[in-house]
Chain A
Amino acid sequence: GQQVMQIPQYQHVQEGEDFTTYCNSSTTLSNIQWYKQRPGGHPVFLIQLVKSGEVKKQKRLTFQFGEAKKNSSLHITATQTTDVGTYFCAGRGGSYIPTFGRGTSLIVHP
């Protein structure tokens, strides 16, 4: 079945440093979504990418979808303590069911 690998599992950064998390799928995806889960909270949708090579920005967050639609990344510029949490990618293949990566936990040190 479809597998979505996400790395790294954890990332410690100093406030102001950049952060990137990567997702790779074993199969071509129809779309990929990104979610953020704050400590003690529930996953909250950030964005969906659909097109090959698509790049979307939300303030300091940049999301990319690979040309082959099998990989994606989330990059945060100049992290802040409010960015703390776990970031998940979720890829959809042909089954309409999203498969989640294991998440990357971001720890920001002030």
Chain B
Amino acid sequence: DADVTQTPRNRITKTGKRIMLECSQTKGHDRMYWYRQDPGLGLRLIYYSFDVKDINKGEISDGYSVSRQAQAKFSLSLESAIPNQTALYFCATSGTGINTGELFFGEGSRLTVL
């Protein structure tokens, strides 16, 4: 089983719909992240959380919200999806410490907004 699990893996939805992408991890890490990947743009940070009570915006948080339900769970929501949110979304985790922060990624959730 994967250490970082994302659901759903693929989703097609319509403009204006609410979408939730879920992430769970078994690595025991405190730090969790949501990234968005678009061709040619690399990985851009949407939100991150250093523990259950800590939520921070990344560079492209507009139009997104998150919930850290437990240490192991971090969900990303699109309240009203729009077509330019069509992308591949990755959840990642890391340990603490600035020099111990290898990121472990989930397998990705491909979202298409029509």
A-side interface residues toward B, CB under 8 Å? 1, 6, 9, 30-31, 33, 35, 41-45, 48, 50, 88, 90, 92, 96-103
**23 A–B contacts from the bound complex (CB under 8 Å):** A6-B42, A9-B40, A30-B98, A31-B101, A33-B101, A41-B107, A42-B90, A42-B108, A43-B105, A45-B103, A45-B104, A48-B102, A88-B42, A90-B43, A96-B98, A97-B58, A98-B101, A99-B45, A100-B35, A100-B43, A102-B40, A102-B42, A103-B43
Name B79-107 residues within 8 Å CB distance of A. 90, 98-99, 101-107
Q: Are A31 and B102 in contact (CB under 8 A)?
A: no
Q: A50's closest neighbor in chain B, by CB?
A: B99
| Given A1-B59, A43-B43, A88-B42: A98 and B103 interface contact (C-beta under 8 Å) | yes
Question: For the complex, is B74 an interface residue (Cβ under 8 Å from A)?
Answer: no
In the bound assembly, the distance between CA atoms of A7 and B58 in angstroms comes to 24
| Interface contact tally, CB-CB below 8 A | 53
State how many angstroms separate the Cβ of B1 from the closest Cβ of chain A.
15
In the bound assembly, the distance between CA atoms of A92 and B44 in angstroms comes to 14
State how many angstroms separate the Cβ of A47 from the closest Cβ of chain B.
9
Name B49-63 residues within 8 Å CB distance of A. 58-59
Question: For the complex, is B41 an interface residue (Cβ under 8 Å from A)?
Answer: yes
Q: Are B59 and A42 in contact (CB under 8 A)?
A: no
Name the one of A6, A30, A31, A44 contacting B105, with C-beta atoms under 8 angstroms: A44
| Given A42-B90, A42-B106, A42-B108: A92 and B42 interface contact (C-beta under 8 Å) | no
Q: A102's closest neighbor in chain B, by CB?
A: B42
Set of chain A residues within 8 Å of B99, measured between Cβ atoms: 30-31, 48, 50
Set of chain A residues within 8 Å of B34, measured between Cβ atoms: none
Q: Are B103 and A35 in contact (CB under 8 A)?
A: yes
Most buried by A among B98, B104, B107: B98
Given A102-B40, A102-B41, 11 other A-B residues pairs in contact with their CB atoms under 8 A: A1-B59, A30-B98, A35-B103, A42-B105, A42-B106, A92-B101, A97-B48, A97-B58, A100-B43, A101-B42, A103-B42
